Amino acid sequence: MHSRRILITGLSSSWGGRLAQALEREPEVEAIIGVDSRDPRHELDRTEFVRVDTQHGLIRRIINAAAIDTVVDTRLVVDPLAAPLGLAHESNALGTANILAACSGDGSPVRKFVFKSSADYYGCEPGDPAFFTEEMARPHPPRTAIERDIVDAEERVADFAARNRGTSVTVLRVASGIAVEERTSHLALLALPMVPTILGFDPRCQFIHEDDIVGVLEHAVRYDLPGVFNAAADGVLALSEVISLLGKPMLPILPPWGTSFAAAQLRRTGLRVPVEMLRQLRFGRGLDNRRLKAAGYSYHYTTREAVVRLRAHQRLRPLLRSGAEPYQYERDVEDFLRWSPSVQSAPDGGEGRWKPSPAELAQLQRTLQALQADQSPAPRSWDLGAGGPPLASYDDLSGDEVIEIVASLEADALEALARYEASHLARRTVLAAIERSLSRQRPSGAAS
């Protein structure tokens, strides 16, 4: 993985937050910084959150200060329900310009730019091909403000890619997501007890599950995929199929003529069906997702499976709503947990027993890998750079502390650690713990 210091915009979206969570598990990722105008909704261990609007030019300072090499831009508002329209446009137009400006220029440390766009780039017209491929430029001019924003943003990104040859630019045109925490037109419509449709139309629809949105973004961070990629699950379903999978009745109450007038009347009842959605309900859309598959990504869910999971979520939601409190970001607590010296030097035993933080664990794993590759001699004192708080030298760790760490290590790292421990301190308790951990991992490793 080339990407080691990553900036994620749109951290509080469900894919932004989950992407950060996924990247936190990667030992090679040194720093993850998330920006958004809202607080994150996902529990994050070592990701640092900076509350900043992308409208301002502050992004550049963050990128330069933290020597960011990869920017994952997931902030683009692609659904009219996600934000008020004026705000969305401001964020889309100015935000894209600011972020691209921050990434360009000779002094910029950014080597990779991943841009989350939307399948709405292609629009939705009767003369469309059944499966859009990435080379197909949008065949018709954009119809709505959001579509215009998407097309504009992609143009800016393409322009950026042409000017900055040294930066690998990935554009992901993501289909409508089954991301249950997000507010999207499709999900709002499908969440109704009866799904309103346009009389006489049964459009084709294609979705992508939230896990796959995160997976695709992570794939784009992990590998170099320059170019444009459609991200949509396998399978294009008829809307009637989707609705029957959800176990709901189809309600064709929108008339085929004067549909927008009827939709305007519906809005009075509290149901907002945006113009983009009306066109989707009429003509539908399909994407050719094979280019991304050829680039090595394999989808977790097909469109049908994603819909089945949406059904499970819709059924369970009323039962689970009163259950667990949702995660709430508390800046002071997060700062304390990350930076307080007391957290890092808490004494052994009792409640405050020392535990390696994920950042420290990542450091340790990296060092062990280096050790395994015989690249560095004994890890007397680890060079920790700016990756996180320093971890005390290994030899100074007590046996119990090492045993704590052992449980979370991979087999290769364990073997390296065993060799090192045997040749240095040779603590019997530590060696026994490593041996136990190894024997636990081996059978499962052999099975897979």
Partner 1 sequence: MPETTPTDAVPDPSDANPAPGADQSPDAPTRELALSDLRDESQLPAARSDLRHFLPGLEPERHVTDWGRSELVEGVVDRTVYDFLYHYWFRVEVEGIENVPADGGALLVSNHAGALPPDGMMIAKAIREEHRHPRPLHIMVGSTLKGLPGLSMLIAKVGGVPAHPANVHRLLFDEHQLVLVFPEGRNGTEKPLKDRYRLRRFDQWNFVEAAMRARAPIVPLAVLGTEEAQPIFAHVSLLRRLTGLPRLPITPTFYLPAKLRVRFLEPVRTDDLGDEPWNDRARMQTLAADIRALIQENLLEMVAGRGSVWLG
Q: Applying CB under 8 A, which residues contact partner 1?
A: 1-2, 4, 28, 126-131, 133, 135-136, 139, 198-202, 204, 222-225, 234-238, 241, 256, 282-284, 286, 288-291, 293-296, 302, 304, 366, 369-370, 373, 375
Rg of the chain on CA atoms, in Å: 25
DSSP class of 388: S
CB of 226 to partner 1, least distance (A): 10
β-pair partners for 5: 31
Angle at 271 between CA 266 and CA 272, to 5 degrees: 90
CB of 68 to partner 1, least distance (A): 17
Alpha-carbon distance 179 to 184, whole Å?
9
Q: Which two tokens stand for residue 413?
A: 């790292």
Choose between 57 and 129: whose C-beta lies nearer to partner 1.
Answer: 129
Choose between 136 and 438: whose C-beta lies nearer to partner 1.
Answer: 136
Choose between 45 and 288: whose C-beta lies nearer to partner 1.
Answer: 288
CB of 445 to partner 1, least distance (A): 17
Q: Which residues contact 321 (CB under 8 A, 6 or more apart)?
A: none
CB of 43 to partner 1, least distance (A): 27
Phi, psi (rounded to 5 degrees) for 185:
-60, -45
Alpha-carbon distance 402 to 405, whole Å?
5
Choose between 76 and 246: whose C-beta lies nearer to partner 1.
Answer: 246
Q: Which two tokens stand for residue 172?
A: 């992901």
CB of 432 to partner 1, least distance (A): 28
Choose between 236 and 406: whose C-beta lies nearer to partner 1.
Answer: 236
- CB of 310 within 8 A of CB of 190? yes
Q: Which residues contact 70 (CB under 8 A, 6 or more apart)?
A: 2, 3, 4, 5, 6, 7, 110, 111, 112, 113, 114, 221
| Tokens 């990756």 sit on residue | 387
CB of 305 to partner 1, least distance (A): 8
- CB of 21 within 8 A of CB of 13? no
Choose between 41 and 46: whose C-beta lies nearer to partner 1.
Answer: 46
CB of 284 to partner 1, least distance (A): 8
CB of 219 to partner 1, least distance (A): 9
Q: How far is CA 95 from the centre of its chain?
A: 18
Choose between 381 and 398: whose C-beta lies nearer to partner 1.
Answer: 381
Alpha-carbon distance 25 to 342, whole Å?
24
Choose between 100 and 205: whose C-beta lies nearer to partner 1.
Answer: 205
**Closest among 95, 71, 211 to 156, alpha carbons compared:** 95
